[in-house]
Amino acid sequence: MSLLPRKPPSIPLLNPLRSSHIPAPPTTSLCPASQPKPKQNLLPLICRRSISAYGYTQSKALLYSTHGEPSSVLSLHTHSLSPPSGPTVTLRFLASPINPADVNQIQGSYPAVPEKTTLLGTPSPSAVGGNEGVAEVVGVGGGVKTLQKGDWVIMRRTGMGTWRTHMQVEEKELVKIEDKTGLTPIQVGTVSVNPCTAYRMLKDFANWEWNGMEWFVQNGANSGVGRAAIQLGKEWGLKSINVIRKREGWETLRDELIEMGATKVITEDEILGKEFSGMVKEWTNGGREPIRLGLNCVGGKSATSAAKVLAPGAHLVTYGAMSKKPVELPTGLLIFKGIHFDGFWVSKWSDRNPVEKKQTVDDVLRMTKEGRFKDIPVMECKWDRETKEDTLKDAVQGTLEGFRAGKGVFVFGDT
């Protein structure tokens, strides 16, 4: 029997295996004031939606008409949705993450921004925040073919606006979760960005031999993408060197990442030190185990140091710039080692490759259900019918604050 690690499927499985529920890790409340009060009505949430006698659904959306800081430009807008007709469906959101890119869009500093319109009845053209999330189908038009009430869906493309309680959209704009058994809304709602980014970078930028003796190196290893890369690397038999910041309690974080599947965890100080190349040589059996890929979300000297230990012909893929410093390209790495320097933007990739996106999502969720892919730490902000505008705005603004215990996520209750 072969002892080699499992090679990732060239076409990920489309029918996730049924499995028992995998409990989510403990979460932190992002906005304690919004905790829902106990309710006496035990009917399902869908039965308690605000629906008028004429079938109209009341929706609330966190939107903006001008660019600036979230606390200044976001507002909570209430509007009504008519009953769905033709190919349209009505959705009730379950969970919507607050990603840094979402905040950058609001600030006007992101390369892609959603179109502003007055379709929701706003005085000025506006856009709803958020690009990622999971929703439940609560109404279908007569022309809908593949969806029915109770199905879970994610957005097929970016810029659709997921920070809202309800939404009406055409069926073709959605990706159905084929089997939601054993999955939580947070697990599904956070799958489209970080896990997909890690999955595609690991799979698309290196010529792996899948022999269990190959490495990748990454900075920002505690990020959502970094944690996903560690777990996927372990699943596929790839060894990893992971760089984290040396802040208070970093040893605990190091142990957590190693338990998750990281081979080596070092600090930013160590990757910039003179001993780093010697450490790498020892770990890689004198360089006979090649480092075929580097993942960079920091930039600056950290990226340069990672590039210097790559094997000839390897790729350094940049997907972020947390330090706000440019990536410096040593001439020798380009001429003599043939190192490739690439960029990856999951939003553009997803929009251009909808079929591959669905395959990637399905494969990650399959591993999640089987207990081989763990959730990222999150900070929940409960969004109920009575949640105030300031609570939601504070949750978004808080994303800009330094180190946090987890990713912010709007978790919808009785809306």
Residues designated catalytic: 110
Question: Within 13 Å and on the Cβ side, how many CA atoms surround 286?
Answer: 0
- Cβ-contact 152, 138 below 8 angstroms: no
Quickly tell me which residue has 């829902």 as its tokens.
Answer: 36
Question: How many other CB atoms are there within 10 angstroms of residue 125's CB atom?
Answer: 12
Paired residues of 127 in beta bridges: 64
Paired residues of 240 in beta bridges: 216
Report the alpha-carbon distance of residue 337 to residue 333 in Å, rounded: 5
Nearest 5°: phi and psi at 105? -65, -45
CA distances (Å), origin 153, targets 3, 57, 137: 38, 19, 7
β-strands 264-267, 291-296 pairing: unpaired
Question: How many other CB atoms are there within 10 angstroms of residue 119's CB atom?
Answer: 11
Q: What DSSP character marks residue 302?
A: H
Work out whether the CA dihedral 389, 394, 395, 399 comes out positive or negative. positive
- Cβ-contact 135, 161 below 8 angstroms: no
